[in-house]
Amino acid sequence: MTDDSLRYNGTSDLYSEEDIMLRIHGLRISFGDFEALHGIDLDLPKGKLIGLIGPNGCGKSTMMKCISKINKGWTGTISIDGQDTAGMRPIDVARCVANVPAEPGPTFGMSVMDLVMMGRYPFVNKVWWESPDDEKAVREALRYFGLDHYRRKQLSLLSSGEKQRALIAKAYVQEPKVMLVDEPTSHLDMKYKLDVMEYLQTMARESDMTVLVAEHDISLMARYCDLCVIMKKGQIVGFGDPKKVVTAQLIRDVYEVDARVGTDEDGEIYVLPKRAVSD
């Protein structure tokens, strides 16, 4: 299958206008002579956990950075809940888009509560001083993500799974309409992988939020995500119910790997890589 035949032509026919939270049309960005995204068209509904999968360098992180306006110089349109982000200030974008990195970065002795409270910064007027409402929102988030008993503990003393939950809690108190999560399970053992994905799935459904997760574990994405977006070489090559779009042929075309794709006794998809495809 050629790259042209893999190209995906948009998703607007799958959902009604009122269901769409994030709309991307004609998104392109280049770095020097290299065009990283080639006219992305994508409509993502609210209240869904959406997996973003594809090989390294396919444009996943680049697209997410365009959505949050970290990347500059892109062309096309990105709108959130019907509002074009082109004219939005960074503070306005932060009020509707939250980012969850794979790692917290340097924490300098910061406590869990300090980190999560940082998620309230977009709502600060003039001088920062957390209000009772801010503290209430943070404490509720800490309880929701099972971290309240760690609130005074230094982040550096938490396990990888606990740190990831703290990062998600920080994004959650930002009250976003769209949450962008970058490889949330990359450093986690099996138990914490499942915990994190269950939190994200529940949060998307209960908060009517669009949660877009970039992840390499295709089996995990297929199990927890309502929808999957598949990228290759800066373009979208598939979109839909993971049980329908994740196939052995797609894995071969996108990852250049022969794989067995099957379902277990519970009807969940699994992907078992077998061998790299020879040139």
**103 vs 169, residue with greater confidence:** 169
Q: 3-class DSSP state for residue 261?
A: strand
Q: Is residue 196 within 8 Å of 164, Cβ to Cβ?
A: yes
Per-residue pLDDT tens for 216-258?
Answer: 999 999 999 999 999 999 999 999 999 999 999 999 999 999 9
Is the predicted pLDDT of residue 126 greater than 90, yes or no? no
Which is it for strands 227-232 and 49-53: parallel, antiparallel or unpaired?
parallel
Q: Work out the pLDDT band at 61, boundaries 50, 70, 90.
A: very high
pTM: predicted TM-score of the whole model, two decimal places: 0.90
Q: Work out the pLDDT band at 14, boundaries 50, 70, 90.
A: low
Which residues are 92's β-sheet partners? none
Is the predicted pLDDT of residue 3 greater than 90, yes or no? no
Cβ neighbours of 31 (radius 10 Å): 10
Coarse DSSP helix, strand, coil percentages of the chain, rounded to the nearest 5 percent: 35, 30, 35
For all residues of the chain together, what is the average pLDDT?
89
Cα 194 to Cα 190, 197, 224, distances in angstroms = 6, 5, 9
Q: Locate 39 and state its tokens.
A: 């006219």
Per-residue pLDDT tens for 162-221?
Answer: 999 999 999 999 999 999 999 988 888 888 899 999 999 999 999 899 999 999 999 999
Q: 3-class DSSP state for residue 45?
A: strand
Q: Locate 138 and state its tokens.
A: 């943070």
Q: Work out the pLDDT band at 103, boundaries 50, 70, 90.
A: confident
Q: What is the pLDDT of residue 131?
A: 82
For residues 97 and 4, what is the distance between their CA atoms, to the nearest angstrom? 32
Contacts of 82 (CB under 8 A, 6+ apart): none
